[in-house]
Amino acid sequence: MDEAAELLAFEAKVAREERIEPKDWMPDAYRKNLIRQMSQHAHSEVIGMQPEGNWLTRAPTLRRKAILLAKVQDEGGHGLYLYGATETLGITREELIDALHEGRAKYASIFNYPSLTWADIGAIGWLVDGAAIVNQISLQRTSYGPYARAMVRICKEESFHQRQGYEIMLTLARGSAEQKAMAQDALNRWWWPSLMMFGPHDAESAHSAQSMRWKIKRQSNDELRQKFVDQTVPQADFIGLAIPDPQLKFNADRGHYDFGPIDWDEFQRVVAGNGPCNRERLANHLTAHREGEWVREAMAAHDAKRRARSAA
């Protein structure tokens, strides 16, 4: 088949809702766009371990510590599935990590905000995992097979993460006046960055049109953001916390909550590397990567030895 025929066959397959698999022909732009989105997703999971890792040594009880430890490890695991799935597109993990370290690849802006109090751990689980899951449920139907399958497993774990965060917030909201104030303060700081996680408005989103055509994305940034707002507002009401948005109001005609404007200047600043913790996050990742060099070398040597033995 020539390239035009390959493209037609590929598009027909996508239209039939069949999955594209690693050995299938795919347009170069499809491959590149997936590598971009999936690797940035993987980087987000791994960098996302840092704000929560910050509280591992200060969790208020042994039970809370055990739960948080498991959650942070899950996020590392999500990064691994996603790096593995991205490698099926013909790029190595080393190349992906280099792109992160050299500032050529992004990660979710939200992880550049500090976790200042224990309530932030509740807010991250409730809001950040809550936003991630809305997006990822939609991605379970993405057209690229390995990405879709990784999402199924990740969603199951994220669902537990969201609940554990909400349970922390519920406990604090029903605690002393100081605990409730701490929960409210965390909600105030994490709300708007959570809305930014869904990316720019549809009209400003550079990749959306093509990604929707190829069913890489199944719902738009604004659709998913609205879904998140609609499901989160009643949860805040239930635990007696106030969403920090004076313009938030249920719109009976639309059947959705209207909400106030997002500060896109802040988003751009953070994405450009100038958020409160960007430098710290990347520096920590670089240090951990360098400190892990000997592990990678030892594993490569072990693998080479094993292969030489089985070839002999």
- Helix pair 278-291, 28-47: axis angle to 10 deg: 90
Size of the site for ligand FAQ (CB under 6 A): 29
Amino acid at 307: R
Residue 220 as a binder of ligand FAQ (CB under 6 A): the answer is no
In single-letter form, the type of residue at position 252 comes to A
- SS3 state at 284: helix
Quote the tokens at residue 252: 């009976």
Judged by beta carbon, residue 6 or residue 77, the one nearer ligand FAQ is 77
135 touching ligand FAQ, by CB under 6 A: yes
Site pattern 136..175 for ligand FAQ (x: CB under 6 A): ----------------------------------------
How far is CA 78 from each of CA 152, 181, 274, rounded to the nearest angstrom?
Answer: 11, 33, 26
With contacts defined by CB under 6 A, name the span among 18-26, 195-203, 255-263, 304-312 that binds ligand FAQ.
Answer: 195-203
Query: Under rule CB under 6 A, which residues in 240-269 are in contact with ligand FAQ?
Result: none
Helices (H), the chain: 3-15, 28-47, 49-53, 62-87, 93-101, 118-123, 130-139, 145-173, 177-196, 208-213, 221-238, 264-269, 278-291, 293-311
| Interface region with ligand FAQ, contact rule CB under 6 A, candidates 23-31, 128-136, 250-258, 276-284 | 128-136
Backbone φ, ψ for residue 97 (5° rounding):
-70, -40
Query: Is residue 115 close enough to count as binding ligand FAQ by CB under 6 A?
Result: no
For residue 185, the Cα-to-chain-centroid distance in whole angstroms is 23
| Three-class SS state of 186 | helix
Task: Assess contact for 140 and 133: CB atoms under 8 A.
Answer: no
218 binds ligand FAQ (CB under 6 A): no
Question: Residue 206 or residue 295: which is nearer to ligand FAQ going by CB?
Answer: 206
Q: Where are the beta strands (DSSP E) in 124-237?
A: none
Q: Does residue 108 belong to the site contacting ligand FAQ (CB under 6 A)?
A: yes
Residues 15-54 that bind ligand FAQ (CB under 6 A): 36-37, 40-41, 44-45, 48, 52
CB of 93 or CB of 207, closer to ligand FAQ: 207
Nearest to 45 by CA among 166, 143, 135: 135
Identify which of residues 41 and 180 has a Cβ nearer to ligand FAQ in the complex: 41
Q: Is 227 in the site for ligand FAQ (CB under 6 A)?
A: no
Among 67, 85, 119, 132, binds ligand FAQ (CB under 6 A): 132
Interface residues with ligand FAQ (CB under 6 A) are 36-37, 40-41, 44-45, 48, 52, 75, 106, 108-109, 124, 128-129, 132, 135, 196-200, 205-208, 211, 221, 271
